[in-house]
A = this chain, B = another copy of it.
């Protein structure tokens, strides 16, 4: 099939999402083997790694030195180096899993180096029996696993800026990562402690030097919260909460308390710093939106995106991520003409609730100036808003909970910038 035969299904050259499942598609990106292919083979046999024995086995592997640019970009506070953020480089990744070394971080007072033998979890307050759990106790309890995203409530906050930030997709939206978390269903421990009738909230507290705490409704705790001990198969890493992290699927990152040491059952929220001064949204009415825990549906195109470059007109695959705190992604629509027309992207199976979903769609770029963007719709029917719609609803003083559509401008030279 010649590329001139390809029929766009939306403006800007978007093609049917099933195109790549058809036969006979020709990208013609490869070089034809020059001369005899045997000549090409023998020349590559002169490469050093085919001539000398390779490296020995390792007890624990690391990325290739050629990938050392694929890192979490960190932003700390010079006066308090453990207070800040590191971003997952979403623009360098593919698929839906975030490798453990690249899961985003948000710390208030650095990463505690906890000895698991000395770590305990206390459940107390409005319970019939306050209980203390050692790690060895917890490891004996029944476990469950959940593939889900964790996203900071402050992720993508540069979207509130008056001018579009020019930075890589991951350093804009990468306070979101996705792992398989395994641990003890919190419900089981709460039932052992026997919550009293008045118990409606729990205050979760971490064992870091900030003793970070936040209030969570008990209804969610009984629903699907996990006391996670494992992340992507292995024990959780220090910066992600070793040895114990509360996982609250679909809810803003700050409630997924790391280094969890205490659950205090109460009849009302404690009104801690992170639910009053932070993670609230001042609305145009002058009132503030509080306890907006569920992360609304979001999507973004990771390839092509800022910092990458299209070298020539031709056939491309647009690839990105979508997720929603309300459940499964129902569909992702992509526009390659600045939002005038949209086409549905292919969703990579399995499509799981409250989990990153990879979407992909073929695209014939003719070398014109254009704007590409994506729009997620979740199973509740929620539609990711355009930026103007989000600002109309939430005002101009926002910092948290930004989930508007992300637009990348492609220049005729193939350069990519962020535009509103």
Taking a contact as CB atoms under 8 Å apart, the answer to whether B49 and A207 are in contact is: yes
A30 interface hit (Cβ, 8 Å): yes
* Contact status of A143 and B57, CB under 8 A, knowing A66-B116, A233-B94: no
- Which of B27, B99, B129 is within 8 Å of A232, CB to CB? B99
A346 to chain B: closest CB distance in Å? 9
A286 interface hit (Cβ, 8 Å): no
Taking a contact as CB atoms under 8 Å apart, the answer to whether B96 and A82 are in contact is: no
A117 to B44, CA, bound (A): 12
A54 to chain B: closest CB distance in Å? 3
Which residue of chain B lies nearest to A80 when distances are taken between CB atoms in the complex? B53
A281 interface hit (Cβ, 8 Å): no
Which residue of chain B lies nearest to A147 when distances are taken between CB atoms in the complex? B350
Taking a contact as CB atoms under 8 Å apart, the answer to whether B235 and A70 are in contact is: yes
Which residues of B sit under 8 angstroms from A45, Cβ to Cβ?
Answer: 211
Flag A85-102 by CB within 8 Å of B: 1 or 0 each: 110000011111111111
Taking a contact as CB atoms under 8 Å apart, the answer to whether B61 and A30 are in contact is: no
A285 interface hit (Cβ, 8 Å): no
* Contact status of A49 and B261, CB under 8 A, knowing A103-B61, A131-B31, A240-B61: no
Which residues of B sit under 8 angstroms from A157, Cβ to Cβ?
Answer: none
- Which of B33, B55, B229 is within 8 Å of A110, CB to CB? B55
A92 to chain B: closest CB distance in Å? 8
Which residues of B sit under 8 angstroms from A158, Cβ to Cβ?
Answer: none
Which residues of B sit under 8 angstroms from A144, Cβ to Cβ?
Answer: 348, 360
**Subset of 24 A-B contacts with CB under 8 Å:** A24-B191, A27-B140, A29-B141, A37-B122, A44-B120, A44-B261, A50-B209, A53-B110, A54-B112, A55-B111, A64-B113, A64-B114, A66-B115, A66-B243, A67-B235, A94-B230, A96-B145, A96-B180, A97-B232, A99-B233, A101-B234, A141-B317, A145-B358, A350-B352
Kindly list 15 other residue pairs between chains A and B, CB separation below 8 angstroms, not including A37-B132, A57-B105: A20-B142, A24-B191, A27-B141, A29-B141, A30-B131, A37-B122, A49-B208, A53-B109, A57-B81, A57-B84, A59-B74, A67-B234, A93-B233, A99-B100, A142-B362
